[in-house]
Chain A
Amino acid sequence: MDDGQSDRRCPQPGRPCSPLSLGLLQMQLILHYDETYREVKYGNMGLPDIDSKMLIGINVTPIAALLYTPVLIRFFGTKWMMFLGVGIYALFVSTNYWERYYTLVPSAVALGMAIVPLWASMGNYITRMAQKYYEYSHYKERDEQGPQQRPPRGSHAPYLLVFQTIFYSFFHLSFACAQLPMIYFLNHYLYDLNHTLSSVHSCGTNSQGILSGFNKTVLKSLPRSRNLIVVESVLMAVAFVAMLLVRPTEEIDLRSVGWGNIFQLPFKHVRDFRLRHLVPFFIYSGFEVLFACTGLALGYGVCSVGLERLAYLLVAYGLGASASSLLGLLGLWLPRQVPLLSGAGLHLLLTISLFFWAPTPRVLRHIWILYVAAILWGVGSGLNKTGLSTLLGILYEDKERQDFIFTIYHWWQAVAIFVVYLGASLPMKVRLSGLGEGLWGIRHPPSPSSGNIPSECPPWPRSPGRAPLTKGWPQTQTSRAASPPEGLSLPLAEGFTVCSLPVGHPSRLVCRWVTCSPGVGL
C-alpha cells in the first residue's frame, strides 16, 4: 500500500487543534495558579473560581454528548462537524486573550460540548476515508465483478489500520508540539524546584490530591501582556490553519441520510454486544489519558522534579505515543488483539510498579525513571488509541452505524475522564487502584446471560420505505453475517448475547435475545 498516497488522502484536520487547546489550557492554568500574577492581573475577579468552573464545563458537558452528538453529526455531516468542532476549539483559544467569566466559562462549556462530536466525527471520517480509499484503489476489480457486489468483509482493514496509525501518530506528535509554548515561553518565567517544591513532602504513591503543598508562587518574573498576546496569537494562527485545513469543501458521501429514531439509536447501540465488551477498554482509555496528564505528570513528575520539567515529561509522553502509534502497523501482520492487549498490559505493569514508587521531592537523581515511565505510558496510550479506533472501524463497517459507535466510544471516554476529574483529590493509591481495576476489567468483561442460541448474528435491519441514497455498498444482509472476519477474535468472546433492536421499527421495542456464534464478535 502506498503510504504517501494514503497520507495525502487522509487529512487529519482537528489534529493540531485539540492538543493545542490543551497546551494553552495548561499554560493558562499555570499562569493562573501563580498568586502574584493572578492578583496583579485580575485582582478580585475570582479567577480560581472561574478556572474551576471552566474545568467543570470541559469535563461535565461531554456527559450529555450521547444525546446530541448523533443529531449534530447527522445534521451537519461528518466533515462539517469536524469543522465546527475545530471552530469551537479556535474560539476557546480566542477567549484566552481576554479572560473574563463570561468569555471563559461559556467557551469552556462549548468546548466540552464539542469534544465528543469532534472526535466521533473524526473517527468516523478516517474510517470512511479508509473505506473510500480501498474502494478507489480497487475500483477496476470491483467494476469487473459487477457494481452490485459488496467487497468482502474486513477487506479494508489494512487500509484503516494505516490511516488510523498515521492519524494517531500525528496527533500524539502534536501533543508533544503543544508543549512548545511551555518550553520556549513559560519555562523562562518559572521558579526552579527548590522554590516551588519547598513544602512538598510526599510524591507519587504517597501523595494525596494534586500537588498538595505546592508553592503558591511559581513565576520568577511575570510575562508581559504583550508577550502573552504574541504567544496566544501564534496559537490562534495555528487554530486558524487547522480550521482552513478542515474547510468543508465537498461532502464525499459521508452523511448517513435520514433521521429515523436518532434519539433512540445511541442507546440501542450502547447495548450492542460487541460494544459492551469493549466498554472497559473505552473507560480505561479515558482513565489512562487523564492519568498521564495529572497523575503521572503532576503527581510523580512535577511533584518530584519541578514544574520546569513538566513540558519535557509531556513531550516524552507525546513522542512515545507518537512512535508507538506507528507500532500499530504491526497489526498488519500480528493478530489484531496483540497491540491492544500489549498496550493495556504495559499500562498494567506500569500501574503496579507506580503503586510501589514514591519519588523523593526535589531530587533529580531518578528523573530518568520518570522519563522512561512517561515514554512507556505514551507507548501504551498510542497502542491503545490506535488499536481501539481501528477495531471499531473494522467491527462496524456500515456507515449508518459508525457515527453512533464512535460517539459511544468517546462518550465512555468522556465519562471516564469525568470520573478521574472527580477523583483528582483522592490519594494517589486510590487512583492507581481505580486505574488497575479498570485495566483488570478488560480481562474479565461482564458476561451477559445466555439464552436461546441461534447460529448466526442477526443482520442489521435497514429502515423500510427509505431509498438507499448512498451508492456505496448495497448491503446484502446475509453476506455480512455469513462471512465472519478473520481478524481479532478474543477467547473471551464466546457465547454472549446481544440485545439488538431493529432500526426503523419503533413500535417493536422488544428485545430480541440473540447469541452469536463463538468468535464472531471480535
Chain B
Amino acid sequence: MSLGLMSWAWTAPNCTIGDSSLLPNISYYIPFCTLAPGLHLFAACSNIKNLAQALRAVPRDTEALCLQGTVTILPADAFGHFPTLQLLRLQLGAIRITSGTFQGLDQLQHLSFEHHAPCCLSLFLPPDALEPLGFLNTLSFHGYCLNHSQDVQLPISLSRLTLRHSCLTDLQELQGLFPNLVSGSSHTPSPSPRTPFLELLDLSANLQLSRVGSQALRGLQLHSLRLNGTPLNVLDLLGSGLIHLDSLYLVGTGAKKLPGNVTGYFALRALDLGRNQVWNLEDGDLLSCQSLERLSLHANGLQLLPPSFLSALPQLQRLNLSVNKLGPTLVLPGGLVSSNLRMLDLSHNELCMLPCRAFSSLPQLQELWLSGNNISNLSRESLEGLRWLKTLDLSWNQIKMLTPDWLSSLPALTSLNLLGTHLEHISGRQLQGPLKLSHLQLGSPDMMEIYPPWPPALLSLELWAEGSIVFRVPKGEPFLFLENFTLQTTFMLLHPNNATLRFPSLRHLTLRGCSTFIFSQRRVFLGLPLLEHLHFWSDHNGAGDLRLFGMPRLRVLELGDLDFLYNARSVQLEMLLKELPQLQVLALSNLNLGNLSVSSFRGLGHLRLLLLSSEWALGLDSSLQELIPQMPQYVYFSDVTFTCQCESSWVGPWATRAPNTFVYGLEKSICKANASDYSRTPLLAFLSGHCSHDSEFQAFLTSASLVLLMTFLALLSCPKWPWLHRLRTLFHAWWWKLGGQHPRNQFHYDVFISYCEQDQAWVLQELVPALEQPLPDGAGLRLCLPERDFGVGQDRMDATTASMESSRATLCVLSHQALGSPWCSLELRIATHNLVANPGTACLLLLFLEPIDRRLLHSYHRLGRWLQKEDYFDLSQGRVEWDAFCEQLRKRLRKAGRERED
C-alpha cells in the first residue's frame, strides 16, 4: 500500500500524467480535462478500450482522473485503486454503471459524465450507485439521458448538479430521478436525508425542456438556476414550488423582454439575459427588478437605455452592456445618481465619442470597459467624476493622441489598457495623475517610443509594437518596482546608445519576437536578481550568443524559435543552463538541439518539467541514461523527430518503466536515419527492432561455457580415476563409431605369426599371401613375421613381447618341429601368458600343420580351458579345405579385432 501511494508517475500508454502546478506549461496536452483548483496529480487518458488495463499504469495517488474512450461497462470497484481521487471525469460513450462502481471513492468531490455529440446517450444509474460518495460536491451529466434511472440517491453533500444536453422535457422528471432532491407532492417523504441546499442547478441546453409541472421543484432551495438555451417559459417557474432562488441564467433563450415577474417573485440578485432579443427595456419590467445586483444584457441589440434605468435598479452593482448598439455617442440615462454601480461594460458598442461628464452619474464606478469601440479622442472632461475608477480598458480604439492631463480626473486608477491603439509616442507625463497606476498595457501597430518618467507604482507593463520599441532614457531611469514585463516587438532599442535600463524587481519577463541581441548587448537585462519566469520566443534572426546570467532565482524558462544553437549544440545548451541552479521548468521549442548528452543537464537538480517540442533530429545520447534517477518528474516530447540511432536505446525502457518520471509523447514519435529518410519509423519500434542488448547474454554464455569447459577438460585429463579412464575409452570408441570409422588402433599388426624355420617355406608361400594380399585375393591383414619385421639388433625377446601386444591376434603355426624349436615354444608360452593375463583382449589362434598329440603342447590343460573350438585350425587332413580354412581364419581374426576394440 505504502509503495503504491508514493507520488510517482509512470508512463502510461495513452495517458497524460502531470502536476497541476505545471499546468500553465502543459495544458495544451490535456485538452479535455479541466481541473478543479487545489488538485495536484492528475491523469488524463484518451482512447481507452480496456479500462482495467488503462488504469493499471496510472499512479495510485492521482487526485484527478479524466477518461475518454469507449468502454461498455464500469465494473464494481473500478476505481478502488485510487483512494485519493477527488475528481473523475468520464467520457466513455454508452456505459453501464453497476451499483458498486464508485466504491472506495470516499474523497471524490467532482463527478461528471460527458458525451459531446450527438445528443443523447441513454445512461442507467442504479439507485445506490452514488451512495459511497460521501463528499461529492459536483455531479454533472452532459449529453446523457437519465430516463431509465429512478430513485437515484444523491449524496447530501452535493451542491452543484448539472444536466446539460439531456432530454428532459419537464422539470417534474427530477422528482422521480432524484427523490431526495425534490420532495414531490405525490411521494411520501423519502427515508434518506434530504439535500438541504443546492448551490447550482444547471439544466442548460435541454432542447426539449419546455414544461414545468406544478410543484416540480417543491421545497428546493437553490442559489442559482441555469436554463440557458432551453425553450422553457420562465413564468412557469412561479408555480414550481421553488422556495428560494438567487441567480437566474437565461442566455440564448430567445427572450424579448425582461422577466420582471420572476425577478420580482424570487427577488433575484443576478440575472443573465445574454444573447437574447431584448431590444427595449420597459419601465414596468424594470420596476419589478429592483432587487437585481448583477445584470447582463450582453449581445441583445439594445439601442437605448430608458431614462429611468438606473433609478429603477438601485441595487445594481455590475452591468454588462457589451456588444449592443448604444453608439455612436454614449447617452447614459441621467437623473438619479446611481450610487452602487461598480462595473460597467460598454465594449463593442460602436461608440465614437464620450461626451463631457458622461459618467458623472456613476460616482462609485470602479471598472469601465470600453474596448473595441471607435473612440478617437479622449479628454479630461469626458472622464470627469470617476473618482474611484480603478480599471479603465480603452484597448482597440482609434486613439492617436493623449493630452498630458487626461488622467488627472482619475486619481484612483490602477490598471490602464491601451493596447491596439495608435499611440506612437508615450511620455510618462501623459500618465501622470493617478498615483497608484500599477498595470499598464500599451500597444501600437508599428513602432513606439517611450519616455520617462515612469509611473512610480508600476508593477506590470505590457508593450506591443510590430516594428520597434524605443526607450528614451537619458538618465537610465530604472523601473524600480516593475515585476511583470511583457514585450512583443522585433527590436527593442535604447536611446542614447550608452544608456542602460534596469529592472531590479522583475519577476516575470515575457519576450516575443525579439532577437537574442536583447540579451547579448548587455544593456537591458543586466541583472535580474528576482526573476522567476522567463519566456523568450525569438524571431529566428538572431545569431548571437545567448547567455543567461545573473538570474539566480529563475524557476521557469521557456525558449522558442532560437537558431543560435545551430553550431556546437549541446555545449551551448550547457552554457545556457549553467548558471540557473533553481530551474524547475524548462520548455524548449524549435531550437535545433541536436544531440543531448549528460553534460547538458548537469546541475539541474530541481528540474521538474522538461518540455521539448518541435525538434528536428533530436538525439538522446547514451550517457543520459546515467541521469535516469535524477530526471525531471515530467518529460514531455511533443512533435519531436528523433535521430534513428542505437545510442538512444535506453529510452524505451526508461520511458515505459522508470518509476520517478512520466514521459509523454514517445509512443507517437518517429525517427529518421538521415535527412532524406521519409519512412516515418516509430522511434520505439526502431529501438526494439534494431538495438538488441545481446552483449550481456553473450558475456554470460562465453564465461559460463568457459567455466564448464575448464571443469570438464580438467575432469577428463585427470588420470587417477579408473572409472574416468573407462568412460574416456568408451567415449573414444563411441566417437569413432559415430564417425563411421574404426579407431586408429593401438595395434600395429593384425596377426603375429609364430613359426619355426622348417615351416617357413609353407608360411611364406601359402599362409602369408592368403592373409596379407589385399582384398579380394587375400584377407588384407597386416602380419608380423619375426624374421621380416623385427628390427636389426633388437632383442628378440622384447621384440616378441612388444609385437604380440601390438597385434590383434597371435597365430601359432604348430608342427612337431615347431614344438621342438625353443623360440616357437617361448612364443607360445608368451601368447598363453597374454591370454591368461588379459582375458577378453588377447587372442591366441593355433594352426596345426600336422596331427600332433595335444599333450605335447605346452600347458595344454591351460590352453584347453581358455581356447574355444574356433580358435584352432587343423590343416593336417589335406589341402582340400584350404579355402574354407582361410575364410574361417579371416572371420576369426575379424572377430578378435572387434572384441579387442570393444
Contacts and interface: CB of A to CB of B under 8 A. Distances in A.
A interface bracket (residues with beta carbon within 8 Å of B): 35 or more
Interface string A57-77: 000000000000000000001
Interface in A246-283: 247-248, 251
Given A39-B658, A224-B622, A248 B700 contact: no
Interface stretch (A19-27, A213-221, A301-309, A493-501): A213-221
Contacts, number: 94
A43 B628 contact: no
Contacts of B6: 216
B629 A217 contact: yes
Interface string A20-46: 000000000000001111011101000
Given A40-B657, A94-B703, A97-B699, A221 B628 contact: yes
Interface string B147-176: 000000000000000000000000000000
A96 to B, nearest CB: 8
Interface string B684-697: 00000000010111
A93 B704 CA distance: 9
B398 to A, nearest CB: 61
Interface in A188-238: 216-217, 219-226, 229, 232-233, 236
A224 B626 contact: yes
A77 B720 CA distance: 11
Given A40-B657, A83-B711, A251-B720, A98 B696 contact: yes
A522 B699 CA distance: 51
A229 B696 contact: yes
Nearest to B711: A87
Given A35-B659, A36-B660, A243-B710, A95 B626 contact: no
Contacts of B625: 222, 224
Nearest to A87: B711
B720 A221 contact: no
A80 interface: yes
B654 interface: yes
Nearest to B693: A225
Contacts of B630: 220-221
Contacts of B658: 36, 39-40
Nearest to B712: A87
Most buried by B among A83, A222, A251: A222
A14 to B, nearest CB: 14
Contacts of B336: none
B653 interface: yes
B738 interface: no
A396 interface: no
Contacts of B626: 221-224
Given A35-B659, A222-B629, A83 B714 contact: yes
Contacts of B701: 98
B143 to A, nearest CB: 38
Contacts of A243: 707, 710
Contacts of B700: 94-95, 97-98, 103
A95 B659 CA distance: 26
A232 to B, nearest CB: 7
A240 interface: yes
Contacts of A36: 628-629, 658-660
B76 interface: no
Contacts of A251: 720
A146 B311 CA distance: 141
Interface in A161-212: none
B219 to A, nearest CB: 53
B657 A91 contact: no
A40 B628 contact: yes
Nearest to A251: B720
A167 to B, nearest CB: 23
Contacts of A222: 625-626, 628-629
Interface string B1-22: 0010010000000000000000
B697 A98 contact: yes
Most buried by B among A84, A94, A243: A94
Nearest to B697: A98
A40 B693 contact: no
Contact of A232 (B650, B657, B660, B699): B699
A90 interface: yes
Interface string B377-396: 00000000000000000000
A77 B721 CA distance: 10
Given A39-B658, A225-B693, A98 B699 contact: yes
Given A220-B629, A221-B626, A40 B699 contact: no
A94 B702 CA distance: 9
Contacts of B764: none
Contacts of B650: 40
B799 interface: no
Nearest to A235: B703
Contacts of B622: 224
A80 B622 CA distance: 45
Contacts of B657: 39-40, 43
A285 B660 CA distance: 43
A224 B654 CA distance: 13
Interface in A351-376: none
B699 A91 contact: no
B707 A94 contact: yes
B603 to A, nearest CB: 13
Given A91-B704, A91-B707, A251-B720, A221 B627 contact: yes
Interface in B771-825: none
B727 interface: no
Contacts of A95: 700, 704
Contacts of B697: 97-98
A39 B659 contact: yes
A248 B718 contact: yes
B653 to A, nearest CB: 5
A113 B789 CA distance: 59
Contact of A240 (B656, B693, B706, B720): B706
Nearest to B628: A222
B714 A248 contact: yes
A248 B653 CA distance: 46
Interface string B719-737: 0100000000000000000
Contacts of B718: 80, 248
Given A36-B659, A91-B704, A221-B628, A84 B696 contact: no
Given A83-B711, A217-B660, A222-B626, A40 B696 contact: no
Contacts of A98: 696-697, 699-701
Interface in B414-471: none
A39 B628 CA distance: 11
Contacts of B693: 225
Contacts of A239: 707
A80 B629 CA distance: 46
Contacts of B627: 221
Contacts of A236: 703
B703 A247 contact: no
Contacts of A229: 695-696, 699
Nearest to B622: A224
Interface string B131-151: 000000000000000000000
A232 B695 CA distance: 12
Contacts of A223: 626
A87 B713 CA distance: 12
Contacts of A80: 718
A110 to B, nearest CB: 11
Contact of B695 (A35, A84, A225): A225
Contacts of B710: 87, 240, 243
Given A91-B708, A232-B699, 15 more contacts: A39-B658, A40-B628, A40-B653, A40-B654, A43-B657, A90-B703, A91-B707, A95-B704, A97-B699, A97-B700, A217-B629, A220-B629, A222-B626, A224-B626, A240-B706
5 contacts: A37-B629, A103-B700, A225-B695, A229-B699, A240-B707
Among all A-B residue pairs, the 3 with the closest Cβ atoms: A98-B700, A97-B700, A94-B703
